[in-house]
Amino acid sequence: MNPTASTGSAATGPLHGVRVLEFAGLGPAPFCGMLLSDLGAQVLRIARPNNPMQSFDGILDRGRVTLTLDLKQRDGIEVCRALSKSADALIEGFRPGVMEKLGLGPDVLLGDNPKLVYGRMTGWGQHGPNAHTAGHDINYIALSGALHSIGSATKPTPPLNLVGDFGGGALYLAMGVLAALLNARSTGVGQVIDCAMTDGAASLMSMMFAMRGAGEWREQRHANLLDGGAPFYDTYRCADDKWICVGALEPQFFAALLKKLDIPVTDYPNHWDRSCWPGMRARFEQIFQSQSQAHWCALLEDTDACFAPILSMSEALTHPHNVARGTFTTHDGLVQPSPAPRFSRTPSSIQESSRADAQTLREWRLPENLIDRVMS
């Protein structure tokens, strides 16, 4: 079943009924909140007053009810503390110690609500020599060994902020929150999740560290199976200056690629032999640059040659596979990725975004005197 944009009906995802209190921030913590909302959680987002909207907020902040509170004021802290008593989980992305200074640290809130799952998202983690210093995705993946392994032979290249912020950060926080929620439901006891992007990015490198340990990974870029070093797992420019990629690692897929390119399989009896890679690359470059991307799509896309055109974001929206699966949708006038993954019984959806009203706060069991203060 395809995910759909909500039309205002109740959430149907597998996390329906789970309450998450999210403290607004940038990047990975909001993305985690978006994921949990897409899965059906009721996410109440605490925003700061007069906080300007960023260009990426339109998607990362989707599907939440937002309550604006001044956390420099006693009333704001009192409301947050009261809301946390009804929350199943809390996520925040401040530097270590900020929530404690506000009086909203885990010792306080787990004392109020022992089943609370308290998720903390930072780049360096809650402790360690770098914990209190500023940084961004590029810094965190640099420390983990990931950035050194990505790029051309002459220069590391940041892979957007996919590896640190979103892969090693938000996804690990979401997984940690779900695991801790399961544990809390069986034990009645919550816990703190220390989610560091350095840890997550390092974890994502597990297979490469295994290959390194087996002597199958060289610590130089563009020299290995999966970093563009192997000519059968790389990108190629076409005659029209568009690009394609091949990933024919296994012998049967490599054979399928060669057959379509009219190259005898006997020319490369062992395509994993590094000594044949320079000549193979030059041959592939000459062949692929002789025709347009459309030509190679027509020849290779419906085969086991492990081929795909390299599409821009605009082109990805109209590719037949993405269209058939509903990979992208339009919500609130903005084209954006649909919720993922897919569920057969409890389909995900993009919930409606709104400002918190009195009824929402009553559902969170906020006392009437605090509701009056918030709504006044």
Contact yes or no for 58/192 (Cβ under 8 A): no
Let me know the angle formed at the C-alpha of 291 by 318 and 153, rounded to the nearest 5 degrees. 85
244, 238 Cβ separation under 8 angstroms: yes
Q: For residue 304, indicate whether it is catalytic.
A: no
Catalytic-labelled residue, pool 38, 61, 88, 165 = 165
Clarify whether 136 is annotated catalytic.
Answer: yes
Q: State the catalytic residue, choosing from 57, 136, 234, 295.
A: 136
Which residues are part of the catalytic machinery? Answer: 136, 165
